[in-house]
């Protein structure tokens, strides 16, 4: 009887091992892992059950991943860390900070890359009330599907689509000339809720262009921000060019135009993706910046300085 018992145990053990193997995730193919490479830009929030105002990116508007020999190198993933090397074999990567330790642990699961970030304070408990963040990344026909869960949960699981810039379609330009925006010309000034003053001074249309300078001064009289702006004619439409702080220019295409409203879009930009100007019946000017859809856009109200 003993040999049979041993044989039965052996077969049972073998069967268990075979079943366990069947449910293990196979190692990713080189092209599957390599597909994660590059800079990713937020396109669309696909989390169910959210209001329009609640829509937005589940992590940074842009982030990057770089793949090297079974390691995914993270940048811009929201923890303030750069070049974090996370292996896909479950090895833990520790990043020490002043009052806490941050631990990254990654794996290949369900055809995608997933990692957890755990925050541990010096006392041994969760730091900042957050114990863990889990992020997963899977390629789909629509782009990179990103899922984010936070423990303890705040709003539940968040889901969004990210794409490379070259895979994001730019809007069809609206037909227009610079004279169509003559109503924007003038010296516009306003106040922010913080008490800061903000101004935009737009030149009249001339030579296929309008030029502007924007400046924000806090309530103590200190310059806190400035921006060079211009709108130029191009290929039968208009392009809005912004240079915050005089840095590299970002272009937005005029996509909507009416007698007193203009909307410029750049879905490939991290934030904002949408800039809209509108002239009210009373003669005031509003400028709104935000995502293409949803979220809580920033709104600035101006009056003409000579009014």
Question: The tokens 């008490």 sit on which residue?
Answer: 195
> 72 is in which domain, residue-wise?
28-167
Answer for the pair 250, 267: CB distance below 8 angstroms, yes or no.
Answer: no
Q: How far apart are CA 69 and CA 87, in angstroms?
A: 9
* One-character DSSP codes across 231-256: EEEETTEEEEEEEETT-S-EEEEEEE
pLDDT digits (tens, 9 = 90+) for 125-138: 554 567 889 999 99
Give the whole-angstrom CA distance, residue 62 versus residue 53: 20
| pLDDT at position 155 | 66
Measured in degrees and rounded to the nearest 5, phi and psi for residue 179 equal -65, -20
Work out the pLDDT band at 38, boundaries 50, 70, 90.
very high
Give yes or no: residues 118 and 205 share one domain.
no
Domain boundary among 138, 167, 196: 167
Looking at the chain, the whole-number percentage of residues with pLDDT higher than 90 is 76
Sheet of 158-163: strand order equals: 84-87, 71-75, 62-68, 38-45, 158-163, 143-151, 132-140, 112-121, 100-109, 89-96
End-to-end CA distance of the chain: 104
Overall number of domains in the chain: 2
202, 78: one domain: no
Give, as one character, the DSSP assignment of residue 170: P
pLDDT tens digit string along 66-81? Answer: 999 889 999 999 778 8
Q: Is the model's pLDDT at 240 over the cut of 50?
A: yes
> Is the CB of residue 122 less than 8 Å from the CB of residue 88?
no
Q: Is 155 found in the same domain as 134?
A: yes
Q: How confident is the model at residue 30 (pLDDT cuts 50, 70, 90)?
A: confident
pLDDT band, very low/low/confident/very high, at 100 (cuts 50, 70, 90): confident
Q: Specify if 115 maps to a domain.
A: yes
183-197 confidence digits (pLDDT tens): 999 999 999 888 899
Q: Which helix (H) or strand (E) holds 190?
A: strand 186-191
Residue 107 in tokens: 């794996």
Cβ pair 177, 237 in contact under 8 A: no
Whether residue 23 lies inside any domain: the answer is no
CATH of the domain at 246: 2.40.128.20
Within this chain, do residues 200 and 158 fall inside the same structural domain, yes or no?
no
Task: For residue 58, give the nearest of 141, 154, 125 by alpha carbon.
Answer: 154
User: 237 and 174 in contact (C-beta within 8 Å)?
Assistant: yes
Q: Could you tell me which residues come within 8 angstroms of residue 98 by beta carbon, excluding any fewer than 6 positions away?
A: none
């Amino acid at each position: 009887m003993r040999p049979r018992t041993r044989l039965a145990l052996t077969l049972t053990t073998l069967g268990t091992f075979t079943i366990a193997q069947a449910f293990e995730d196979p190692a990713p193919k080189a092209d599957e892992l390599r597909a994660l490479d590059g800079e990713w830009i937020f396109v669309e929030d696909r989390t169910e059950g959210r209001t329009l105002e609640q829509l937005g990116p589940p992590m940074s508007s842009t982030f990057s991943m770089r793949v090297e020999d079974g390691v995914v190198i993270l940048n811009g993933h929201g923890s303030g860390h750069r070049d974090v090397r996370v292996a896909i074999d479950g090895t833990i990567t520790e990043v020490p900070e002043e009052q806490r330790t941050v631990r990254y642990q990654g794996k290949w699961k369900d055809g995608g890359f997933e990692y957890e970030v755990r925050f541990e304070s010096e006392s041994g408990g969760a730091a900042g009330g957050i114990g863990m963040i889990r992020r997963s990344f899977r390629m789909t026909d629509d782009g990179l599907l990103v899922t984010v869960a936070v423990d303890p949960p705040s709003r539940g699981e968040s889901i969004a689509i990210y794409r490379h810039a070259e895979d994001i379609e730019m809007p069809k330009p609206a037909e227009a000339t610079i004279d169509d925006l003559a109503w924007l010309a003038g010296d516009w000034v306003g106040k922010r809720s913080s008490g800061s003053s903000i101004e935009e001074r737009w030149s009249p249309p001339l030579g296929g262009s309008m030029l502007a300078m924007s400046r924000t001064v806090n309530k103590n009289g200190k310059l806190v921000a400035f921006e060079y702006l211009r709108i130029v004619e191009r290929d039968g439409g208009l392009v809005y060019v912004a240079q915050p702080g005089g840095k590299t220019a970002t272009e937005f295409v005029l996509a909507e135009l009416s007698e007193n409203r203009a909307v410029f879009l750049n879905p490939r930009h991290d934030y904002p993706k949408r800039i809209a100007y509108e002239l009210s019946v009373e003669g005031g000017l509003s400028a709104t910046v935000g995502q293409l859809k949803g979220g809580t856009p920033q709104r600035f109200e101006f009056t003409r300085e000579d009014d």
